[in-house]
Amino acid sequence: MKKSTGSIVAKDGKIEKQEKADRHQARFKAIEYCIFLSGLSVFAQLYLFQPILPEITQHFKITPATSSLLVSASTIGMGFGLFIFAFKADSMSRKRLMTIALVSSSVLTLLSSFLSSFVWLVAINFTKGVLLSGVSAVALAYLSEEVSTAVFGFAVSLYLSGNTFGGMAGRVVTSLISGWTGWRIAVVFIGVASLVLGLIFSRRFPESRFFKSQNNSIKARLQQMKHLLKDTFLLRLYFVGFILMGSFVSVYNYLGFRLEAAPFSLPHYVTASIFLMYTFGIVGSLLTGWLSDKYVPHKIIQVFLLLIIAGLLMMMSKNIFVLVLGLGLFTLSFFGVHSMASQMVSKRVDEGKSSATSLYWLFYYIGSSVMGSFTGIIIHRNSWYAFVICLMALVLLSLLVMTQRAPKVRKT
């Protein structure tokens, strides 16, 4: 039976039917514009310190693996926040939660530029991650509720493109400004820009029309999450998110150190340009939105996973052009997998969508935190080649996990 794409509401004593936002409608344009801005702000702030880890290492006189705690702290905070919001997000206004998250996190970003203690900097980054999780916890659920099925894939791809563009722009801008004026001024710039984006979002983002608050008890929510975690296909998607995000963050955490060392010996301002490769991620997200309407979802993921392995293999080369091409292929394919997996998780359940997507993001960011630091130990004790081989083995395991198509949807 075809699902309803609208609802009946009373307005001035008359009965009207509200339809979900569709392409070319003003409401959909406002949604896609603001959802893009939200993704941009979240990822510009979340990975703010990643491109300046070498500078942070020198400033605080710490090791590269220790400096990576700034990135891990944000993603651990994100994971912690997502766990909390898995219980509460479906009882809170979507727009209010996202607005509070965007504005308050930008204030913390500004505050972090004035800290002189590395420990406090890590603590602020953790708190910021918790706040930013408020956006990730409900963004996909909002889209699945408010936009029509025909444009859902496109809307999700646009949101993830905002994530990608924010991650790229934040890293590149931070690298350039820190190279010219120091890391503190770079952090101030990102903080101010994020605050402006948050204020624009608060004014332009449409309120929910189809959201129904679910004031479930903690016991009921735990029961719902138990059902979700019994769904073996969801678990496979969560595992893929864990492995892929951990691999992605690991590559971008430590590739700068690789390029600044022999045989490349590139200056910092050149290595910072590797984050421009995020443009391939935007292509990957949008390409997936197009492919998802034409091909079987788990087959799309399998192809992208094979391309990720090929990209990692190319990154073992001592030829800079081959390495960069491999990074581009790796980045495009990672965002292809992520976009497809995000859609599949959101479509998998009819109730508790925020819980399902929050769990996906939880695994996603735990992978970033755990693997982002663990692989730093591998590269420190062994070599770049051992590091890449380890990542290839993990991605291959993800490919094996996704060899079966999704079984029939089960309601939660």
Determine contact, residues 164/328, Cβ cutoff 8 Å.
no
What region, left, alpha or beta, does residue 307 occupy, with left being phi > 0 and alpha being psi -120 to 50 degrees? Answer: alpha
* Token pair belonging to 129: 């991650």
Write down the pLDDT at residue 292.
79
- The total of structural domains in the chain comes to 1
* Token pair belonging to 332: 């495009």
**What stretches in the chain show pLDDT beneath 70?**
1-18, 215-216, 269, 352, 405-412
Q: Is residue 28 part of a domain?
A: yes
The answer to whether the bond into 407 is cis (omega within 30° of 0) is no
Helix axes 94-112 and 183-204, enclosed angle (nearest 10): 160
Write down the pLDDT at residue 5.
52
Q: Is residue 12 part of a domain?
A: no
Q: Is residue 15 part of a domain?
A: no
Q: Is residue 263 part of a domain?
A: yes
In this predicted model, what pLDDT tens digit does every residue of 305-333 receive, in sequence order? 999 999 999 999 999 999 999 999 999 99
Q: Is residue 333 part of a domain?
A: yes
- Please provide the DSSP assignment of 93-112 as one string: -HHHHHHHHHHHHHHHHHHH
Q: Is residue 14 part of a domain?
A: no
Residue 138 structural domain = 21-203+227-401
Q: Is residue 55 part of a domain?
A: yes
CATH at 66 = 1.20.1250.20
Full-model pTM: 0.73
Q: Is residue 273 part of a domain?
A: yes
